[in-house]
């Protein structure tokens, strides 16, 4: 629906640009039209995903993670618009695809595990039908065959195949999530976008599923864009991590590097709000303040109103922080950060 031909202007910044990238997003900007004016949900975001890689995308609620996920599959709907950028899959521009090519690209190349499993499943269709639908939309197979494929997929994610006939409300949360993963795997895609796949689940189920995702990934070798607001999950799972604030990437680094040496004050804040590993305590320390208004974000560094390093003691730094937006820069090998502290 948002088949927008966007002039993809070159952003000079390609923090993880690599010639072997499967998926390369460059300079992506997305706006939602609101009565108060456009909300810039995603601004000038660039990242790439290599085959078999797990890229984590973290950030507070409302920072634009899902928007990136949807934009990648060209799913942004009115009142949202992709205003700039380029999304290339194997060097083919997704934003320029014909509707037929787009349909083919979706799910076969890139599949989506959408944010809430409950809402992502159609309540009035049996889950099996929803998997069969995906199969039949892409492959020349009969219903019977598709059905058998679906059974295999269910077995793969550890659900009894007879549950294919169930409706979403008849499944447990974990089963729902697994059936969506099964659905996402139906066409053996090269990229899986997982938008908070475990958020609503209790910790035990969450671990199970994460384990399963890792196993499946090891087995099939797809790349994952793993979206979460919970940085701790990413640390275990992903190869690289991108941290997002107010529609922009603020730090990108290999997982261990980020864990050992977080640079951006916001990343540090997120680190401190890790839930303890046994899940006993929800938050050790949150980041004070509220996420910014995307219609009229703060000047300069969008994080400055909440930034502990923005004290005003250093007048010239303060002026910079409040008037000039820091750009992503590679401050260490493969470690990119957008903060005036690291000039």
Residues at the contact surface with ligand SF4, assessed by CB under 6 A: 264-265, 301, 303-304, 307, 309-310, 321, 326, 339-341
Taking CB under 6 A as the rule, does residue 39 contact ligand ATP?
A: yes
Taking CB under 8 A as the rule, does residue 169 contact other proteins?
A: yes
Residue 335 Cβ, how far from ligand SF4 at the closest point, in Å?
A: 15
The residues, any chain, with a CB within 8 Å of residue 48's CB and separated by 6 or more, are 14, 16, 17, 18, 21, 22, 23, 24, 25
The beta-carbon contacts of 271-275 under 8 Å, at least 24 apart in sequence, are: 271/231, 274/231, 274/232, 275/230, 275/232
Taking CB under 8 A as the rule, does residue 141 contact other proteins?
A: no
- Please tell me what DSSP assigns to residue 123: T
Q: Name the segment binding other proteins (CB under 8 A); options: 113-121, 143-151, 228-236, 278-286.
A: 113-121
C-beta of residue 207 within 8 angstroms of C-beta of residue 163: no
Dist. CA 70–CA 28, nearest whole Å:
12
* Per-residue contact string for residues 35-74; x = within reach of other proteins by CB under 8 A: -----------------------------------x--x-
Under rule CB under 6 A, which residues in 56-115 are in contact with ligand ATP?
Answer: 59, 61-67, 79-80, 115
The residue within the footprint of Mg ion, chosen from 26, 43, 46, 66 (CB under 5 A), is: 66
Burial (CB count <10 Å: 0-12, 13-18, 19+), residue 80: buried
C-beta of residue 254 within 8 angstroms of C-beta of residue 239: yes
Q: How far is CA 23 from the centre of its chain?
A: 13
Number of residues that bind ligand ATP (CB under 6 A): 17
Under rule CB under 6 A, which residues in 134-193 are in contact with ligand ATP?
Answer: none
Question: Rule CB under 6 A: which residues touch ligand ATP?
Answer: 32, 34, 39, 41, 59, 61-67, 79-80, 115, 229, 294
Residues at the site binding Mg ion, with contacts judged by CB under 5 A = 66, 115
């Amino acid at each position: 629906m948002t088949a927008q031909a966007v002039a993809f202007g070159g952003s000079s910044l390609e923090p993880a640009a690599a010639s072997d990238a499967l998926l390369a997003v460059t300079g992506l900007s997305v706006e939602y039209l609101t009565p108060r004016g456009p909300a810039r949900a995603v601004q000038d975001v660039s990242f790439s995903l290599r085959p078999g890689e797990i890229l984590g995308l973290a950030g507070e609620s409302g920072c634009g993670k899902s928007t990136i996920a949807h934009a990648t599959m060209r799913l942004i709907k009115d009142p949202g618009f992709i205003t700039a950028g380029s999304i290339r899959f194997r060097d083919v521009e997704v934003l320029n695809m014909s509707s037929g090519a787009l349909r083919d690209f979706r799910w076969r190349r890139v599949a989506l595990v959408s944010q809430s499993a409950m809402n992502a499943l159609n309540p009035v269709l049996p889950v099996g039908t929803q998997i069969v639908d995906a199969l039949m939309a892409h492959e020349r197979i009969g219903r019977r065959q598709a059905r058998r494929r679906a059974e295999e997929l269910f077995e793969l994610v550890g659900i009894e195949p007879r549950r294919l006939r169930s409706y979403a409300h008849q499944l447990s949360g974990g089963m729902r999530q697994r059936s969506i993963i099964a659905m996402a795997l139906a066409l053996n895609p090269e990229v899986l976008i997982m938008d908070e796949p475990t958020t609503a689940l209790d910790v035990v189920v969450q671990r199970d599923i994460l384990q399963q995702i890792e196993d499946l990934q090891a087995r099939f070798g797809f790349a994952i864009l793993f979206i979460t607001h919970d940085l701790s999950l990413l640390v275990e799972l992903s190869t690289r991590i991108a941290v997002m604030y107010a529609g922009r990437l603020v730090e990108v680094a290999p997982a261990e590097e980020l864990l050992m040496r977080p640079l951006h004050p916001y990343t540090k804040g997120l680190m401190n709000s890790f839930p303890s590993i046994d899940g006993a305590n929800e938050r050790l320390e949150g980041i004070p303040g509220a996420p910014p208004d995307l219609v009229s974000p703060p000047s300069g560094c969008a994080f400055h109103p909440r930034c502990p390093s923005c004290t005003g003691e250093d007048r010239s730094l303060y002026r910079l922080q409040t008037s000039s937006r820091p750009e992503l820069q590679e401050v260490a090998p493969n470690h990119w950060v957008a903060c005036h502290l690291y000039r």
